[in-house]
């Protein structure tokens, strides 16, 4: 069910001109510095297990470490052309029309099979590149959590996540370098989101931005890629990464549930605003503006042609599914309903409220356990 009137402050958020006015200006720079504005916190309370759920997660993480070089079968050949053919390639305007996209009258009208195929290849390079950049964001954010969180059980757990994220950056970079056909710089909206998360001085905001929003979306996106890719190596890689990510999202849910219980309404509102801003940036990154740019077409025209309007429509079921982990987790944390449902109203305008009744991710990690499953299978054979 959709609200009839948009909440105040929503006037511009779907406007394509406003969204596309922002682009990266430093894509040729090798380094990007962000001030993290936080105190490093020591705790002298070393009593382990004061927070049993975090301690359980930590013990689980210690036994679930894998090696990206040796546990994945890098000898598997990846034929990107064949992968794209298997997924299906449009031959021209009529094929797109069947999917409700009218490219007649735009510069995409003259595109045939060759151009649409190249577009899909670029889109795959772009997606994997953004996964890799997001993983580096997680690496840096989790290192910050080790420093800033005041609880020893959380510092221990976060330390295991730093190692997990290093491995994730490593395997996505290797897959891009050795199996696909090119890298993309970080998407401008993803970069702004990571900058916002790292810049905020409050330790719980790192968790909210990274563990709940970015990793919640990543878990859903990896799940969809896992279900749909015909490439056995990418499936293997994603299965291992997802079993780590499920723990990371649980870490966010368990830690913030405790912390939010004592926050005032105005403090909760700041968290709700932060979560919604993050949701918009993540939605906007999926416009893939850099892919159209590389294909040499007018970016605004191409995105408008696909949206068939000047507004981002928020009706694509695939895009909505990306929020399937975020929404139930926000609900569990009280973010959806605090302050008269401030975030609920805004998630409704993004068309993602239907996920509020889905399972939250506090315990999902128990069902995703690639390492234990594979070790048990190997032991059974031996």
At its nearest, how many Å lie between Fe ion and the CB of residue 145?
Answer: 11
At its nearest, how many Å lie between Fe ion and the CB of residue 210?
Answer: 8
User: Can you tell me the distance from the alpha carbon of 363 to that of 366, in angstroms, rounded to the nearest whole number?
Assistant: 6
What are the structure tokens assigned to 262, written together? 């004592």
User: Can you tell me the distance from the alpha carbon of 56 to that of 51, in angstroms, rounded to the nearest whole number?
Assistant: 9
- CA 101, distance to chain mean position in Å, is 26
Q: Which is nearer to Fe ion, 90 or 253 (CB)?
A: 253
Query: How crowded is the C-beta side of 276, counted as CA atoms within 13 Å?
Result: 24
Q: What is the per-residue DSSP string for 154-219? A: HHHHHHHHHHHHHHHHHHHHHHHHHHSS---PPPHHHHHHHHHHHH---HHHHIIIIIIIIHHHHH
Q: Which is nearer to Fe ion, 53 or 307 (CB)?
A: 53
At its nearest, how many Å lie between Fe ion and the CB of residue 57?
Answer: 13
In sequence order, what are the residues at sequence separation of 6 or more whose Cβ sits closer than 8 angstroms to the Cβ of residue 137?
A: 190, 194, 197, 198, 210, 214
Q: Which is nearer to Fe ion, 120 or 142 (CB)?
A: 142
At its nearest, how many Å lie between Fe ion and the CB of residue 128?
Answer: 13
Number of neighbours of residue 308 by Cβ within 10 angstroms: 11
At its nearest, how many Å lie between Fe ion and the CB of residue 135?
Answer: 5
Question: What residues are paired with 311 via a beta bridge?
Answer: 15
Q: Which is nearer to Fe ion, 214 or 312 (CB)?
A: 214
**Phi, psi for residue 311 in degrees, rounded to 5:** -115, 150
User: Can you tell me the distance from the alpha carbon of 285 to that of 189, in angstroms, rounded to the nearest whole number?
Assistant: 5
Q: Which is nearer to Fe ion, 16 or 218 (CB)?
A: 218
What DSSP designation does 311 have?
A: B
Query: 144: part of which helix (H) or strand (E)?
Result: helix 113-148
At its nearest, how many Å lie between Fe ion and the CB of residue 159?
Answer: 13
Residues 125/182, Cβ–Cβ less than 8 Å: yes
Q: Which is nearer to Fe ion, 136 or 339 (CB)?
A: 136
Residues 93/255, Cβ–Cβ less than 8 Å: no
Q: Which is nearer to Fe ion, 153 or 245 (CB)?
A: 245
At its nearest, how many Å lie between Fe ion and the CB of residue 333?
Answer: 18
Burial class (CB in 10 A: 0-12, 13-18, 19+), 24: middle
At its nearest, how many Å lie between Fe ion and the CB of residue 248?
Answer: 4
Q: Which is nearer to Fe ion, 168 or 331 (CB)?
A: 168
**Residues of this chain that bind Fe ion (CB under 5 A):** 135, 138, 165, 168, 215, 245, 248
At its nearest, how many Å lie between Fe ion and the CB of residue 99?
Answer: 32
Q: Which is nearer to Fe ion, 261 or 367 (CB)?
A: 367
């Amino acid at each position: 069910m959709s609200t009839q009137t948009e909440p105040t402050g929503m006037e511009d958020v779907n406007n394509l001109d406003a969204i596309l006015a922002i682009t990266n200006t430093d894509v040729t720079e090798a380094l990007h510095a962000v001030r993290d504005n936080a105190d490093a916190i020591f705790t002298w309370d070393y009593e382990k297990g004061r927070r049993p759920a975090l301690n359980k997660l930590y013990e689980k993480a210690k036994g679930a470490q894998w090696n990206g070089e040796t546990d994945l079968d890098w000898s598997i050949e990846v034929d990107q052309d064949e992968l794209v053919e298997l997924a299906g390639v449009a031959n021209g305007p009529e094929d797109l029309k069947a999917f409700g996209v009218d490219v007649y009258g735009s510069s995409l009208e003259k595109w045939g099979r060759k151009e649409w195929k190249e577009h899909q290849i670029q889109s795959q390079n772009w997606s994997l590149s953004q996964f890799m950049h997001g993983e580096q964001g997680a690496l840096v954010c989790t290192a910050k959590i080790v420093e800033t969180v005041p609880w020893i059980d959380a510092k221990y757990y976060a330390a295991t996540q730093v190692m997990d994220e290093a491995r994730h950056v490593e395997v996505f970079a290797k897959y891009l370098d050795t199996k696909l056909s090119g890298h993309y710089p970080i998407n401008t909206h993803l970069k702004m989101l990571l900058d916002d998360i790292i810049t905020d001085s409050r330790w719980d905001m790192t968790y909210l931005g990274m563990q709940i929003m970015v990793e919640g979306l990543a878990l859903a996106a990896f799940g969809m890629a896992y279900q749909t890719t015909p490439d056995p190596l990418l499936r293997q890689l994603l299965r291992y990464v997802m079993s780590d990510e499920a723990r990371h999202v649980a870490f966010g849910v368990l830690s913030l549930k405790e912390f939010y219980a004592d926050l005032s309404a105005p403090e909760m509102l700041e968290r709700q605003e932060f979560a919604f801003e993050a949701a918009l940036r993540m939605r906007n990154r999926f416009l893939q503006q850099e892919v159209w740019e590389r294909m040499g077409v007018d970016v605004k025209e191409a995105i408008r042609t696909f949206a068939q309007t000047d507004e981002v429509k928020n009706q694509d079921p695939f895009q909505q599914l990306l929020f399937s982990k975020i929404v139930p987790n926000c609900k569990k944390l009280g973010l959806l309903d605090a302050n008269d449902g401030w975030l609920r109203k805004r998630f409704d305008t993004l068309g993602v409220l239907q996920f509020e009744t889905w399972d939250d991710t506090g315990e999902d990690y128990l069902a995703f356990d690639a390492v234990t499953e594979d070790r048990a299978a190997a032991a059974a054979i031996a």
